[in-house]
Structure 1
Amino acid sequence: MAIKIYIDQGHNPEGINAGAEGFGIREQDITYQVGHFLFDILSEDYRFTARLSRPTPQTTLGYSNTSSLKERVTQANTWKADYFISIHANASENPDINGTEAYVSSANSAAWYLAQNIVSEIVRRTSTKYNGVFTRPSLYVLKNTKMPAVLVELGYITNYEDNQRMIDNPYQFAYGIYVGILNYLELPQKNTDL
């Protein structure tokens, strides 16, 4: 039975629930691209089946911030996903703040250990700074999902170096999430010749 991964590409293309911006780059474009790469990688591995919150760049969910978040959670819960991965890019008023981090609803949970593996692997592959895993039980997508849920902040869109890494190598961020999932599940990396 394939493991079901719901990939939530954070934010909408524009307007309602749009994301952060930095150096002329929009968060929702980065999250769309990384999510799509992750979907492709998982789809090539028979052990997984994946679903995207935004199958196309124009896909818009909901009519307000709350309804946009609710629709993502409802899709994952209805599909009975095994894991929920929400992809984001962070932002700060301080352009020096940088690095990769993740948020989960509670410490020492399945999501917590999954998040640690994902952050570690992204950092290893992209050379971002390791910021760790934090609990944020109030975040809608973490509070309302019925499966382990991780909100990954790939890097800071407002930090020039992180910004360039996300633009230049979205595939490595996606592959880092994939290998983080494999490491958490103690699954070997698939032989690409198979």
Structure 2
Amino acid sequence: MPIKIFVDQGHNPSGHNTGAENSGINEQDITYNVGMYLAQMLRANPEFEVRVSRPGPDTILGTSNATSLKARVDMANDWPADYFISIHTNSNVNPNIEGTEVYVYKAYTESYFLAEHVLRGIVTVVGTKDNGVRVNPSLYVLRRTRMPAILVELAYLSNFEDRQRLIDEQYAFAEGIYDGLLVYFGLHPAE
């Protein structure tokens, strides 16, 4: 039985639930691309089955922030997925804040250990700063999914170096997530 991974590309391309923006770069465009690269990698491996929340760059989910988040969770729960990965980019008023972090609902759970592997994968492949795995039980997609779920903040759009990585290294970010999954599932040894 293949492992069923639901890849949620955070935010909508327009209207409600759009993401962060900096210097003309939009979070939802980056998350869409990284999610599609990750889905390609997963589809190429018979160990996995994958679905994405936004199959096209213009896909808009829900009619408000709340229904957009609910639609993503419902798709994963109804499938039902074995694991849920939500992809985001971060932003901060302080442009010096940089790096990758992964959010989970609760510490020392299956989600938490998956998050550690995915974080290590991204930091290793892309070279971002390791900001650790963080617990945030208030995040809807982590709270309402019925399977282990992680929310990946790839890097900061508000930081110059991170923003360049998010523009230039979208495939590498996907590769980092994919490598983390492979190591977590014991499908290939860590380098």
- TM-score, normalised to structure 1, is 0.96
1:8 aligned partner: 8
Aligned-partner Cα distance in 2 for 1:150–1:169:
21
2:170 aligned partner: 170
1:33-53 residue CA offsets vs partner (Å, 9 max, x unmatched): 000000000000000010010
1:100 aligned partner: 100
Aligned-partner Cα distance in 2 for 1:90–1:15:
20
Aligned-partner Cα distance in 2 for 1:39–1:158:
27
1:67 counterpart = 2:64: no
Aligned-partner Cα distance in 2 for 1:132–1:185:
20
Q: What amino acid is the match of 2:179?
A: V
- TM-score, normalised to structure 2, is 0.98
Structure 1 segment 36-115 matched on structure 2, within 5 A: 36-115=36-115
| Cα pair 1:23 1:160 within 8 Å, conserved | no
Aligned-partner Cα distance in 1 for 2:150–2:183:
15
Aligned-partner Cα distance in 2 for 1:24–1:158:
11
Alignment coverage as a number of residue pairs = 189
Extract unaligned runs of 5+ from structure 2. none
1:163 deviation in Å?
Answer: 0.6
Extract unaligned runs of 5+ from structure 1. 190-194
Question: Which secondary structure state, in structure 1, belongs to the residue aligned with residue 142 of structure 2?
Answer: helix
Identity, in percent, stands at 56
Q: What amino acid is the match of 1:130?
A: D
Q: What amino acid is the match of 1:154?
A: L
1:105-155 residue CA offsets vs partner (Å, 9 max, x unmatched): 000000000001001110111110000001111100000000000000000
Aligned-partner Cα distance in 2 for 1:24–1:119:
27
Question: Which secondary structure state, in structure 2, belongs to the residue aligned with residue 132 of structure 1?
Answer: strand
Aligned-partner Cα distance in 1 for 2:36–2:45:
15
1:14 deviation in Å?
Answer: 1.0
Aligned-partner Cα distance in 1 for 2:80–2:59:
21
1:50-83 residue CA offsets vs partner (Å, 9 max, x unmatched): 0010000000000000000000000000001000
Q: What amino acid is the match of 1:32?
A: Y
Cα RMSD after superposing both structures: 0.7
| Cα pair 1:5 1:81 within 8 Å, conserved | yes
2:139 aligned partner: 139
Aligned-partner Cα distance in 1 for 2:170–2:11:
17
1:185 deviation in Å?
Answer: 1.1
